[in-house]
Every structure is written in structure tokens, then in C-alpha cells.
A and B are shown apart, each in its own frame.
Chain A
Amino acid sequence: MSLTRTRTGTLLATPAILYMLVFFIVPSLILFAYSFWSSASYRIVPDFQFNNYLGSLASPVFWKVTFNAIRIGLFTATVTLILSILVGYYLVYVSRSQTILYLILITWFSSYLVRIYAWRTLLGTNGVLNTVLLQLGVIDHPVSAFLFSPFAVTITLVHIYLPFCILLVVSSLSEIKRDLIDAARDLGTSLIGAFFKVIAPNAANGLIGAFMLTFILVAGDYVTPQMLGGSSGQTTGLLIADQFRKTGNWPLGAAQAFLMFGISIVLYAFITALGRATGLIVKRRAKTEREI
């Protein structure tokens, strides 16, 4: 007896589907249900009310930390994407070497926390940066502002998420043959022009995907901002985590998690619209629109 193609396909996908169902979709739905419940003196009460959402939306603290998370996220994702495109271009079109890609990925073999502490050491008052600047005479006493600043948070987050973003960018650039870039240049564009006119439109989905995934990971990262950001380290991720860990207000945490989710979707839609408006994303006209 032989299986048909569709049945084989379904069979192969089943473990993944089951996994996603049990460990992602069902918990998400439970969390969504929680977000309408209420909490009274550390006890969660089944309910159906919108106070968690309305309260968060009305809270200046929520907006402040959300704005902070989005700012760190957008800034870090932008820097990471630009660096990834440069490295990706080099890897795909210039060196064509797998070794360099592996070397980049090897930084992932070190623990996340180790990397954060490494940056603390580098940027601290007795750190490498201060020592070098002191020796060079650029500064006359150690600068404490390197650490516990948005700068420290960004540089660390870029370092942590760069390999991930490079991997995504490399895979989307690999789809675009070198010939297309040569053709664009042959037809009169500079290399930068070829990027915007040919590479970006053809890699738009991959590049936006890389940007958004980096953004989401960074905006949701509450460890780095907390450990390196000082007073600027308050982000939505930390706020949400605290609802679960400290205040025990799970319904409020759940609601804020879904608000953050909604904000990410709005941002994604906005960035896609921006891409369309600037011509970086080209939407194909449907066949019917083109009939003469």
C-alpha cells in the first residue's frame, strides 16, 4: 500500500503541528483568556472585563516603557540590519565563503549572560574602553556613562542579535543572482542604486522579515536593558515579566503581552506600507489589471 502525496505531507507535518498546538497555540489562547480576568490580592479571578487593557493604555508608565522598548527595538534592528546587509553582501557576492559565516555564528556558542557581562567589563569604569581613552589622553578621568546607557544597551543587543540577522539576510540575498546586480550596473546604476532598485525589491520580504524578527526579539529582551541600561533600561518586556514574577498580576501581564503583540503588528504593517510608498517593495499587478 502506498501513501498519496498529500497524506505523506500531512503525516510529516503532524509532529510539528501537534507541537505548535500544544505548546504555543493552546497556551496563547489560555493567556488571551487570562487577559480578561482580574486579580485581587495575588489571586486570579475568572472574569470578563477590559480593565487590564484600558488600564494599561491609560497608564503613562506603560507608554513610557513601551516607547522605550520600541525605540531600542527600532534603533537596534536598523543598525543590525544595515550591518547584516553589508556583511551579507560580502558573504554572498564577494567571498562566497562558508567559513566566515560559521565564524560569525560561533559567537552564539557563548552564553547570552556571558556576553552581557563581557560588555559590562568592556564598558565599565575600569574597562577596556575607558583605559584606552585614558591612555590616549582623550579623557582625564574614567567615564561612567558608557555603561548603564542606551549606547551600552544598543551595542550589546546588536552584538547578540547580529549573527541571527546575518543568517536571515544571507539566505534572502542568496536568492538573488549576481547577474541581476551586474545587469543593473550595466544599465547605468551605481552599486548603491542597484541595491535599492534591484536587490531590495527582490529581497524585500526577507529583509523586512529579518528586520521585524530582530525588532521583536530586541523589543522583548528585558535582560540586557535591565543589566546595561540603568534608568533607561525599563522596557515593556521587563514590565510584563514583573507582572508574572513580582506582583503576581497574571491577567495584567497577559493583557500587556497582547498589547505589545498588537503594537508589533501595527509596526509591521507600517513598515511594509513605508516600503511600498518608497518603491522598495514592488507589488505585482494582478493579471486582470493588466489586460489591454
Chain B
Amino acid sequence: MTNPKTIIDIRDGKKVFGSFTALTDINLSIRQGEILTLLGPSGCGKTTLMRLIAGFETLTSGTISIDGNDCAGTPPERRPVNMVFQRYALFPHLDVFENVAFGLKVKGLPRSEVKERVNRMLNIVQLDNFANRYIDEISGGQSQRVALARALVNGPKVLLLDEPLAALDLKIRQHMLAEMKRIHAETGATFVYVTHDQDEAMILSDRVVLMEKGRIVQIDRPEDMYARPKSLFAAKFLGETNLFDATVSAVNGIGTTAVTTAGTPFLGAETEDRHVSERIIVSIRPESLSFQGGEAAQSAEGTVEDVVFIGSRSFYTVRLDDQSPVRIQVQRNGHLALPSVGDRTRIYWDSANVIMLPHA
């Protein structure tokens, strides 16, 4: 796909509730056909942002345009978007078929067309046999599918999903994630997905919008956000990581060297915008550390304090000789002898995996 079209464009968005600023400096272009995730802890403004797009809230300042049209003053019923609510918000007085048919009937489409489109949508979400059930007669996973079908049957330009899996248990959640990807592929709709769950965001998204305290802190593909977080918040929010307070000691052609407060030097590959004696934070993921290393690898010595086995992986806690604890994740491999609790060991890492972050 070359240069996909922008379907939703938000410029300088700001939303204030009384004395509380819920969102500020929101600039976001959502591309046609993508799955975009709004990710962040509760209270970061992600749901407010979604409700602004849906039209349930209005911006204090700034603009939102959908498909090129500024939608200030357009009520939710006249926006070409549909929403899947967190608790589904299915109509209890209607059966599955009537729930899905609701939007089409409101539009006044002929009965035959309503029937055909609803049935086709029920087929996509695999609920053909449940059309006549009432909402309290179906399971949580099925309710989720009805909510998806009820929104998608209207052919929205953008489908908004507000933590749609939060109410489901883990097993169904994983299954529904796969279903969501399949339905996205089948319908080709643009999905804007709100979640506080980083795993859901990673699995599902083409791009992740990371939010904190009403601001967008980073927009990136999930793998880039994981590998190259731009802030301490991003590094901590996505996945697990080891963090060290450090001071830059040298910047040269090879990279930047920073020494942790405890005294261990880390050489990072990045060279830009760093200067000597700058205070930074060094982040290194547990899976970027190992007990074996090549010629170019950096290393430090320590003592194994704790080991946790999780099937194919093990998590080690090693206390370095400078007294700082480090978490290491290793793949279990029958050929290699791994250290045990109390063993002296040496851990290795590559400069490419050393992430240097601005001090918060």
C-alpha cells in the first residue's frame, strides 16, 4: 500500500472538564484500513479521545475531521463511525438479529436489505445460529461478537473499540483477538482500539499511540515502540526492563558511554544529542542480557539470586558486584548449562540493545 489515505485527522486537540485537563496537544492522523491502538494507563485520556471521535464529547479547542470533513458540531448519530462499547451496551429488549439490525432500521433501509446485510454480518462473526436469542441468553464472547456485528454492519468508515475485551476471561480474550484480526481483514474497516493492555496492543496493532496524562507520548509500530521507546514511561509501560540512573561519560563515533550510579559502564549505539555529564536513564530488556557473549559484547559480573522457570523461558535475578539487581530472561536450551542460585556468573549484552532515555 502506498501512502494510505488519512481517514481521521486531529489537530491541536484539547479537552478540559471543569478544572481538569483531560487531553492536550493531541495531533493524530489515522490511516484508512489500519488498526490503531490508543494505549495507556487508566486516566490517560484514551477513552475521552475515542468519545471525542464518536461525538459524545466535544473538543475544548482544536479540530477533528473525519474523511476530510470537520465534524465540530456534528452529533454522534451523524458521524460515519460506530463504536463497540466496553460493556457492549447491547439492547436487552431486542434479540441478536434486532440488535444488529438496529442501525440499518434507523436509516430506514428496506427490510430485505436489512435482513441480507444482518445475516451476512452474523455469518462473519459466526453467530448465524444465535439470531433469535436474547442478550441474556448468550455468553460474554458471543455478546462481544454481537457488539462487533452491530457496529460493523453499518459499514462505518472507522470502527471504535473501547476496551472490548476487558470484560472477558483470558482464554476467550486470546481467541477474540485472533477473531478481531480476521474480522478486520474480512471487512477492511479502519479500527481504533482503546486498551490499557500492552499485550493486546502488540498483538493487534499496525500502530500504537501511547498516551500518558492526557498527552500522546509516542506513536509507532509496536515493534519499534518496544525496541526504541522514546521515554522512560514508554520503556516501562511496554514490556519489562532493567533501568539504571546513569551519567554520560563519553560520546564518540562508536556510541555513547554512560556509567550507572553504582559504577557499571554501558556503551550504547546511539550518538545523537548526547553530551558528557548529562544525566540519563539506561534501559536494557531482560531478553537482551545473556550468560554467553561474543567478542564485542559488554559484560559485568555478579551472583545469581533467584531463578523462576516459566516453561520454555527462565527469569534470573542477578546481583551485580556493584550491588544493583538485574533481571535476565533466557530461553531454555538443553545444550547449555545455566547457573543456579548462589553461582558466580558473568552477564553479557550488545551496545545495540542499550537504550538511553532522557531523565524524567
Contact = CB atoms under 8 A, between A and B. Distances in A.
Interface of A: 177, 179-180, 182-190, 193, 197-198, 201-202, 282, 284-285, 290, 292
Given A177-B89, A284-B134, 6 more contacts: A179-B85, A183-B150, A185-B75, A186-B81, A188-B107, A284-B93
B348 to A, nearest CB: 52
A47 B81 CA distance: 73
Contact of B76 (A182, A197, A285, A292): A182
A183 B85 CA distance: 8
Nearest to B83: A186
Interface of B: 54, 56, 75-78, 81-83, 85-87, 89-95, 102-103, 106-107, 132-134, 150-151, 154
Given A185-B75, A187-B103, A193-B106, A179 B93 contact: no
Is the contact region of chain A dominated by helix, strand, or loop, or is it mixed? helix
Contacts of B82: 186-187
A186 B77 contact: yes
A190 B86 CA distance: 22
B166 to A, nearest CB: 13
20 contacts: A183-B90, A183-B150, A185-B76, A185-B77, A186-B76, A186-B77, A187-B82, A187-B102, A187-B106, A187-B154, A188-B154, A190-B77, A198-B93, A201-B93, A202-B93, A284-B93, A284-B134, A290-B95, A290-B133, A292-B132
B24 to A, nearest CB: 24
A189 B85 contact: no
A292 B102 CA distance: 22
Contacts of A184: 91, 102
A183 B91 CA distance: 9
Nearest to A183: B89
Given A185-B75, A187-B154, A188-B77, A180 B103 contact: no
A201 to B, nearest CB: 4
A201 B93 CA distance: 7
A193 B76 CA distance: 13
A189 B106 contact: yes
B103 A188 contact: yes
Nearest to A181: B89
A285 to B, nearest CB: 8
Given A184-B102, A186-B83, A202 B77 contact: no
A292 B97 CA distance: 14
A292 B132 CA distance: 9
A15 to B, nearest CB: 34
A290 B132 contact: yes
A202 B107 CA distance: 22
Contacts of A292: 132
B91 A186 contact: no
